[in-house]
Amino acid sequence: MGVALGVVVIAFSHPASIWASLQHVNPLSVLAALLLNIPVVGLRALRAGVVIAHLGHRIPFGSQLRTQLIGTTTSSLTPAASGDYMRAYIWRRDHGVPLRVGAAVVTFERVFSLGLMLVVAVLLITLPRHGTIGWLGVGVGLGAATIAPVVFEQIPPGLERWVLTKVTRGPLSRFAEGALEVVDNFRRLLRSPTLLAQASGLTLAVFVLSGVQLWLLLDGLDHRVPMTQAVAAYAASQAVGILSTLPFGIGTTDAVVVGVLAGYGVNLAIAATVALLLRAVATIPQALGGMIAYATLESHDSVMASGEAATGAGPE
């Protein structure tokens, strides 16, 4: 379905025009957009480190960076980014972080960032056109979105415990205790305004840098839009891609990029070219980085296993 949607988007955007645009894109703009993957992934790893530290576990940044790359790839490959929970397994295996802590951290990051993404898309699409008052609205909206989880955390715990009890009946009863602990850890994260502010700042920085990637690609095609429009197009496309549950948000993400940019007056062929280039400079490099990170993870396992075999030692 996603591939079919992508084909439809390209067909309506005139493939010949897209090919012509690709041949005239400024390679320096593409390179600059490509290099922005470094701070984007770094900020995501830093955010994960901040969140997991709030629950009493500290992980070296280098290890966190590798885990983030793997999580980005597995989340892209799986419906609704569910593969991101691979990070919880790696944290337990390499650093002894309980799965119930890791799962809460991943859930918090996924839910909180998706909520912010939706808010950013709506605010930037609707309010900046109204000048100073509009920007005040953007600021108020982002502030409200940042502290909203504190309000959610006030929901009586008995309600979610009742729901979990119903869900984990029968064969799933053995997961009930773990699920309740994950929820308790999740609530601990929600009730900290300081953590929410830190996570919000890092998440918004990721959105802005990703918007800059899109803006650079447009600039490389000799077409410029306000930075707010580039960030709005990125946020809206990623949110819809995640909600579509399609791996890599294939088709849906690209259609939203094209649709939002076209709504801002960008030529359809240029908008479709940017959607393709965004896949080339962001999706593919990060996926390759995740595969390489996973390979180093496996290599480390092989070395450890060989060392244990040579010394006659086994895992404790």
Question: Number of folded domains in the chain?
Answer: 1
**Nearest 5 degrees, angle CA 21-CA 23-CA 28?**
95
Among residues 284, 274, 210, 275, the alpha carbon closest in space to that of 25 is found at 274
* Domain membership flag for residue 277: yes
In the structure encoding, which two tokens stand for residue 226, read together? Answer: 């306000």
Among residues 216, 219, 223, 211, the alpha carbon closest in space to that of 266 is found at 223
- DSSP assignment letter at 168: T
What gap in Å lies between CA 135 and CA 117, rounded to an integer? 17
* Domain membership flag for residue 87: yes
Range of the domain at 289: 2-8+26-301
What separation in angstroms does the CA of 74 have from each of 3, 131, 144, 246, 293? 19, 41, 31, 13, 12
Position 78 scores a pLDDT of: 75
Position 165 scores a pLDDT of: 61
* Domain membership flag for residue 315: no
Position 207 scores a pLDDT of: 95
What gap in Å lies between CA 135 and CA 133, rounded to an integer? 5
Q: Which residues have C-beta within 8 Å of that of residue 152, sequence separation ≥ 6? A: 190
What are 143-150's contacts with CB under 8 Å, separation 24+? 145/115, 145/116, 145/119, 145/200, 146/116, 146/196, 146/197, 146/200, 147/193, 147/196, 148/115, 149/112, 149/189, 149/190, 149/196, 150/190, 150/191, 150/193, 150/196
Show the low-confidence residues of the chain (pLDDT under 70): 1-14, 80-81, 156-178, 298-316
In the structure encoding, which two tokens stand for residue 93, read together? Answer: 């295996």
Percent of the chain with pLDDT over 90: 50
What gap in Å lies between CA 21 and CA 196, rounded to an integer? 42
* Domain membership flag for residue 241: yes
* Domain membership flag for residue 93: yes
* Domain membership flag for residue 21: no
| Element of type H or E holding 151 | helix 131-152
* Domain membership flag for residue 314: no
Position 287 scores a pLDDT of: 85
Position 269 scores a pLDDT of: 87
Position 297 scores a pLDDT of: 74
* Domain membership flag for residue 316: no
Place of tokens 């959607």: 275
